[in-house]
Structure formats: structure tokens, C-alpha cells
Amino acid sequence: MKRRGFLLAAAAVVVFVGGIAYYRISGGIPVDVFRVRLGRVEEVTAAVAAGTVKSFLESVLSTETGGQVSEVLVREGSPVRRGEVLARIVDPELARQAEATLAEEGQARDALLQAEAKRREATIRVRAERGRTENNLRKAREDYRRSEDLFRDGFVSRSDLEGAATLLGNAEEEARFTAAGESMLQALDREIDVLRGRIEAARARTAALAARRAKLTITAPFSGVITKKSCEIGESKLPGGALLVLADPSSSYVEAQIDEADAAKVRVGQTVRLMPEAFRGEKFTGRVSEVRPTVEASKEVSRANTIAIALTSSPQPLRLGMSVDVEVLTGGKDNVPMIPSSALMERDAKKFVYVVSGGKTVRRDVTVGVSNWDRSEILTGVSPGEDVVTSLEIKDLAPGSRVGIRSRQ
């Protein structure tokens, strides 16, 4: 490293000494020039600030029910698969409600079993009583009709007829008691229906509580990378509180802001140059995939239009959150006179350049067409073949200065 620094310093000394020697030989200030020529000048609209690598598929994971964080199984940067458990939340009140509902369901089920057993026993008893009373009632009626016939014919006494009537009355009374047993069965059926309803309601509440408890287990809705963790074990979270941010790096794009003054030039489909801060010297290409329909306030300018850029070539993997310089190619011209944009100067709202003519610098006012940070189209002022000074850092350079050409591009 030291040897490289020494060589660079030595080279700089050689260039400096060579420049002085050239200056003494030619009697002029050594300058670098660019020979005006025809070429393509692209119209570039740059983002007002570095863009950011984001993901089209990004989700903020939270809990629908509040609780206390009991487990966090991932950290920022962790790759996860769809369905993988990421964190767990506990809610003591929800657990108590679930226990109470289960107990209520168990009590109702026990009561139902007892009611069903009672109903079966009552059914057997009522059926037996019904058969016996029906037979007794039928026999008592027949005996009474027979006694009536015999009494009319004088074969039995009135006391015998009254005895038959008494037996018929007893049989009818017994039949009424049996009918009451049928009503008891109906009452038991209603009790059973109520108990079954209680069980179904308890099961529904149990299912709802189970669904709520299931939501306390946070799982990955898709495969990706955890980009942010906002929870710690023991921390209490309200419903909707953010826990984790999950993003899919395979669906990355670049989001950038364009000054509203230039926003009308940017359209979907235009080519974009991307220069990531992490990969200095490397250029990526992209395409404008979306121009947001609204202009919003920006930190860098008063108003800016946000655009999304899809990557079309990526020699290096871009990580989510990286900063990227963005240039949108909004137009351009071919076969036009061009010079380096760094050769342009401006004074009193007029743009001009220094041209080397006859060994001296001559100021030329110019009209600029399409321009970017690297090249500018010249509409008037200079012509192809003329040499324009590019080493403007020379302090004593002025119109009429004697110069010698040190290098030409």
C-alpha cells in the first residue's frame, strides 16, 4: 500500500515537472482540451436523493390480540420459510377464558348424559305403564258395557253395575297418570335440547378462543428474510403492535424520488442507470416500472414524485435497504456537437467556454441543448473540430491567456 502511494506521488511529480517544462518551452499555460465532435448526448433525470432497495413482497407481522412475547425464534437477517414459526405470544386472560369454556362444556356434557339416561329410563317405564293402563282401560270399558247390558236384562244388580263403573273410573284415572308420564318425556326432551345447545355454544366459544390462541403464534406468510425485529421476550404488545418485518429479496426493486419539475419527463418503460453505494464503479441497469400518481412532500425538495424501478441486470446481489444513485434516461440526441459538461462556465446568466485558438484562450458564449452531468449538446458557439479547455481549475486562466495543449480527448 505504501509502495503504491509512493508510485502515485512520483507520477504526480513527473506530471507536474513535465507541465512546467512544457510551459517553459511553449511559453503558455499547459491546459487539457476536448475536441468538439459529433456524438450522442443523453437526457438524464437524476433522483433528488439516493434510492432505496425494497421488496415488492413485504409484510409487517403483528398480533391481532395483545399479550406478552414469550418466544422470538429469529433475528434481523434470518432467512425463513413459509409457515415457519417466528415468535409466540401468551395471553393469560385468554387461557383462563379457554379453561372456563372447556369446564362449561364438560359440565353441560355430563348433565346431558344424565338427562339422556333419565329419559331412557322414563321411556321404558312410560311404555310399560301405557301398555298396562291401555289393557286395563279396555277391559274396564268392556266389563262396564257388559254390566249395563246384563243390568237392563235383569241378570245383575245395580251394585254390580256400580262396581263396574268404579273399576272403569279407576282405569281412566290411571290412564290420565300415564298421559302425565308422556308430558314428563316431552319435558325431558326439552331439557336435552337445551343442554345440547349449551354444548354447541361452548364448543363454538372454544373454537373461537382456539383460533385467537392460534393467532398468538406468529408464522411466516411467505419465504423471505427478516428485515426488522421490533419485539423482545417479556415485552407486552397491544393488538396490532408490530413484531417483525418480513421481505422477499427475490422480488426486489429500487424506489426513488424525482423532483416534481422533472417528473413529467419520467415514464414507465424508460431505462435507468443504477449506481449502488456498496459497489462503487459498477453500474446496474433497470427499467421504470411504476410512476406513482401523486406528488408528495420530500425532505430533499419541496415536492417529489416517487417511482419504482425494476432491475434488468444485476452483476452483484443488491441487499434490501441499500442506497442506490438513480439516473433515468428520459431522452437524447444522436450525432450532435458535444463537449464535457465540466467545460461549461456560467456568468451573468450566460453559459460560455474557453476555446484554444492561435495559442490563446478565447471566450465563446454557447447555447446548450440536451445535457447531463457528463456531456452537453452545443447548439451554437463552437463547432466540431475546435478544442475546448477542460482544465478550468487553473487559477490564472482567462480570455487571451497564452496556453499550450497538454492533453487532448
Query: Are 327 and 44 spatial neighbours (Cβ–Cβ below 8 Å)?
Result: yes
pLDDT band of residue 178 (cuts 50, 70, 90) is low
Query: Are 276 and 256 spatial neighbours (Cβ–Cβ below 8 Å)?
Result: no
Q: Are strands 224-229 and 37-46 parallel, antiparallel or unpaired?
A: unpaired
- For 282-293, the pLDDT digits (tens) are 888 999 999 999
Query: Are 342 and 376 spatial neighbours (Cβ–Cβ below 8 Å)?
Result: no
Amino acid at 122: A
pLDDT for 71 beyond 80:
yes
More confident call, 275 vs 163: 275
Nine-digit cell string for 139: 277391559
pLDDT at 342: 92
pLDDT band of residue 75 (cuts 50, 70, 90) is very high
Sketch the domain layout of the chain as residue ranges. Answer: 25-54+250-408, 58-89+216-247, 93-214
Mean pLDDT of 180-188: 70
Nine-digit cell string for 61: 407481522
Half-sphere exposure of 173 (CA within 13 A, CB side): 6
- For 23-65, the pLDDT digits (tens) are 444 458 999 999 999 999 999 888 988 999 999 898 999 888 8
pLDDT band of residue 205 (cuts 50, 70, 90) is confident
Kindly state the helix (H) or strand (E) to which residue 72 belongs, with its residue range.
Answer: strand 67-72
pLDDT band of residue 8 (cuts 50, 70, 90) is very low
pLDDT for 10 beyond 80:
no
CATH number for the domain formed by residue range(s) 25-54+250-408: 2.40.30.170
pLDDT band of residue 270 (cuts 50, 70, 90) is very high
Neighbour-count burial for 282-320, b at 16+ CB within 10 Å, e otherwise:
eebebebbebeeebeebeeeeebbbbbbebeeeeeebeb
> Across the strands, what pairs with 380?
367
pLDDT band of residue 116 (cuts 50, 70, 90) is confident
Which residue intervals of 78-157 are DSSP H helices? 92-153
How far apart CA 38 and CA 386 sit, in angstroms, is 12
The CATH architecture that domain 58-89+216-247 belongs to is Beta Barrel (2.40)
- For 366-402, the pLDDT digits (tens) are 999 998 888 999 999 999 999 999 998 888 889 999 9
Question: Between the ranges 186-200, 205-219, 386-400, where is the mean pLDDT highest?
Answer: 386-400
If one counts every other C-beta atom within 10 angstroms of the C-beta of residue 34, the result is 20
If one counts every other C-beta atom within 10 angstroms of the C-beta of residue 36, the result is 21
If one counts every other C-beta atom within 10 angstroms of the C-beta of residue 95, the result is 14
pLDDT band of residue 300 (cuts 50, 70, 90) is low
How far apart CA 377 and CA 362 sit, in angstroms, is 20
- For 339-356, the pLDDT digits (tens) are 999 999 999 889 999 999
More confident call, 10 vs 246: 246
More confident call, 403 vs 158: 403
pLDDT at 177: 62
Mean pLDDT of 237-261: 90
pLDDT at 233: 92
More confident call, 258 vs 156: 258
Mean pLDDT of 316-321: 84
Please name the residues in contact with 272: beta carbons below 8 A apart, sequence gap of 6 or more.
254, 285, 286, 287, 288, 309, 326, 327, 328, 329
**Nearest 10 degrees: Cα torsion 334, 340, 341, 345:** -130
Kindly state the helix (H) or strand (E) to which residue 208 belongs, with its residue range.
Answer: helix 158-214
Q: Is the pTM of this model over 0.85?
A: no
pLDDT band of residue 200 (cuts 50, 70, 90) is confident
Which residue intervals of 256-358 are DSSP H helices? 260-263
If one counts every other C-beta atom within 10 angstroms of the C-beta of residue 349, the result is 5
pLDDT band of residue 182 (cuts 50, 70, 90) is low
How far apart CA 261 and CA 269 sit, in angstroms, is 20
Mean pLDDT of 252-257: 92
Mean pLDDT of 235-260: 90
C-alpha distances in Å from residue 133, one per residue of 120, 182, 239, 297? 20, 13, 67, 94
